[in-house]
Amino acid sequence: MAEMAEYKLDLVLRFVTASLFIITNVVFWGAILSRIDNIAGWTFPQIILLLAFIECSELIYYTFFGFSRWIQEEVISGELNNVLTKPANELLFMWVRDFDPIAILMVAPYPIVYFTAAFAMGVEISLTSFLFAFLFCFFAAAVLAIVWLAFESLSFWFGRTGISGIFSSLFYHTYNTPFSVFPVKVKFFISLVIPALFFQLPGMVALNVFTLTELLQLCAALFLVIMLWAGLALSLWKWGLGRYEGHGA
């Protein structure tokens, strides 16, 4: 009982700490941007809403797809051997095994505070737009998992590398910046190479940034990007797994 109480207290403290951090962050940036009408056409409340949906995407990623961040450790430690003994697809097994509902409690304060702040500052979106944007959050989380799988699969050849860390830092700082502030070439880079645009799509959809035609055209282009990344990720995983099994743990 004591261990359970300590565990629950730890969860509460983490939730409160995360909430205070985000509240401080919102107040800080609000003070800095209070004298600026907009940033590349985005008002401060709109940016906060954009960040809220970005955090929703992260919450979904850590809850359902977090396994993709630890493949490198599975390979290096030899834990992948245990996965290979299971009568199921390796990726599917890790996906189910590492489902983490506790991540909801750890990450939930971020979107909750951001949404509360955005709506308190007067941002208005319809329920339909909100739900449609929330679906795009699942889309973004799945894309991030695919990209992580590609980078983590490199460990079959190179062992522990800093590539994933560099990607993580680049990805984080890019998708937390409004897409419209970047020049055209940078927009192309962060759409195709990173691709960070997916995390900003939910907020942009909620704010009706696109017409229906523009949204369909964008989705078609981004679908091709997803197919390229999925093909790369699954190919690296398959080739790497064959190499791993061939050489042993």
Closest to 26 measured CA to CA, from 45, 54, 1: 45
Measure the CA–CA gap between 188 and 195, rounded to whole angstroms: 9
**Entry pTM:** 0.80
How confident is the model at residue 158, as a pLDDT? Answer: 85
Q: What amino acid is encoded at 155 in this protein?
A: S
C-beta separation of 56 from 202 below 8 A: yes
In tens digits, what is the pLDDT along the chain, a chain of 249 residues?
A: 444 445 556 666 666 776 676 677 677 767 766 667 667 677 888 888 888 898 888 888 888 998 888 888 888 888 888 888 888 899 999 998 888 887 777 778 888 888 988 898 888 888 888 998 998 888 888 888 898 898 889 889 988 777 766 666 666 666 666 666 666 666 666 666 666 677 888 888 888 888 888 888 878 877 888 888 899 999 999 999 988 876 655
In three-state form (DSSP H/G/I as H, E/B as E, the rest C), the secondary structure along 50-92 is HHHHHHHHHHHHHHHCHHHHCHHHHHHHCCHHHHHCCCCCHHH
- Where in the chain are the domains? 2-32+39-247
Measure the CA–CA gap between 196 and 181, rounded to whole angstroms: 14
The C-alpha torsion from 69 through 74 and 77 to 80, rounded to 10°, is 180
C-beta separation of 244 from 156 below 8 A: yes
Measure the CA–CA gap between 27 and 79, rounded to whole angstroms: 44
How confident is the model at residue 76, as a pLDDT? Answer: 87
C-beta separation of 195 from 143 below 8 A: yes
C-beta separation of 152 from 164 below 8 A: yes
The C-alpha torsion from 17 through 58 and 125 to 128, rounded to 10°, is -130
Measure the CA–CA gap between 65 and 11, rounded to whole angstroms: 21
Measure the CA–CA gap between 121 and 43, rounded to whole angstroms: 11
